[in-house]
Amino acid sequence: MVDYRLKYLKYKMKYLTLLGGSNFISNSNTFETLKNDGTNKNGRFSNQCLWLSILSYLNIVLENNLTLEQLREIASSNDSIVNGINEEYDFHVNERALNNVVETYDLQIHFYQAQIRNSNYLIGNEPLIYGNIESNNVVAIVSYGYHFELIIQIGKRKLYRGKFDKNKKAGKFVPDRQLILGKKSSKIDKLDQTQQKKLDELFETLNNLLKISHDIEQHINLTKDQLIDLDERIIFDEKSNSNQLKNLSEEEQIVIIVSYQEYKKTLEKTKGEFELILGEINEDLKRVRNEINRMV
């Protein structure tokens, strides 16, 4: 089997090198969550763990009185696609639905991806942030594979003013293989210890690759925005500063134009390198998912 964990570190190092960084080990924290198994009380839904995590925050912290059905209805506004009642959430397909909820309740969602170290689940200090970064309604959610849970404590720091302190469903994050997979499989229980260990390693690799791919996608989008902004600035400068440019020597005008062009080339090169790494990661993600599907 390909050692995807080593490949993950290779991608991480490439990514950080492009960002001008060198240290890929971030501070990590223990954490506690509010348990959910992706289902609601009437048994109609499954794989709704992300929406249930957000729903717990909206109802307990912001003191709303919403049902899962009502939350999904808000998510589906503007013809947005919501994952089916038995389908796992997909960031690429269902992101608009998440944004509808974020905008409706002015949320700032911090997504942390759990990492395994010495058999313990930990989270780092740099979540993927969705929503209004100035909002006080900060929702912390952990993801592992296709499973999500609301984080209620990071290290010794209790979140949400301790409103979940007495909740019986609160405690250490211990994901179930069925929940990580995002579907029920009778094959999982039939795996021997060696196979279970291999499956857990594949889950961990999948999670790591998803984390780095999300980070890279964010930076590709940021670089695209910078390129658009640069082009707009060039056009604006040519119009508004035309008289000033005329007053400069030909040599000085060339320096200004070349500096714009060089910066644009640098951004385009960085974007291209990001996209190459992302393409490699996506191919490995397919391979890892295929290996998981063959096992379960």
Please check whether residue 152 lies inside any domain of the structure: yes
The count of domains in the chain is 1
How many other β-carbons are positioned within 10 Å of the β-carbon of residue 218?
A: 13
Q: Determine the distance from the C-alpha atom of residue 207 to the mean position of all C-alpha atoms in its chain, rounded to a whole number.
A: 10
Q: Where are the beta strands (DSSP E) in 73-154?
A: 107-113, 115-117, 120-122, 128-131, 137-144, 147-154
pTM: 0.72
| Residue pair 107/131 in contact by the 8 Å Cβ criterion | yes
Predicted pLDDT of residue 54: 97
Q: What is the pLDDT along the chain (296 residues), one digit of tens a residue?
A: 455 555 555 666 666 565 554 444 456 789 999 999 998 777 789 899 999 999 999 999 999 999 999 999 999 999 999 999 999 888 878 999 999 999 999 999 999 888 877 778 888 887 888 898 899 999 999 988 889 999 999 999 999 998 998 888 889 888 778 877 777 777 887 888 888 888 888 888 888 788 778 778 878 888 888 888 877 766 655 545 555 555 656 665 565 666 677 878 888 888 888 898 889 888 888 888 898 888 88
Please check whether residue 100 lies inside any domain of the structure: yes
Predicted pLDDT of residue 4: 57
How far is 143 from 124, CA to CA, in rounded Å? 12
For residue 224, which of 275, 259, 258 has the smallest C-alpha distance? 275
| Residue pair 145/175 in contact by the 8 Å Cβ criterion | yes
Please check whether residue 58 lies inside any domain of the structure: yes
Predicted pLDDT of residue 48: 94
Over 139-168, what HEC string results?
EEEEEECCEEEEEEEECCEECHHHCCCCCC
The pair of structure tokens assigned to 126 is 């740099």
Domain hosting residue 47, numbered range: 25-185
Predicted pLDDT of residue 1: 47
Please check whether residue 143 lies inside any domain of the structure: yes
CB within 8 A of 270, min separation 6: which ones? 18, 223
Please check whether residue 166 lies inside any domain of the structure: yes
Please check whether residue 64 lies inside any domain of the structure: yes
Please check whether residue 119 lies inside any domain of the structure: yes
Please check whether residue 292 lies inside any domain of the structure: no
Q: What is the CATH number of the domain that holds 70?
A: 3.90.70
Query: What is the DSSP secondary-structure string of 184-210?
Result: --TTGGG--HHHHHHHHHHHHHHHHHH
Q: Determine the distance from the C-alpha atom of residue 17 to the mean position of all C-alpha atoms in its chain, rounded to a whole number.
A: 21
Predicted pLDDT of residue 253: 55
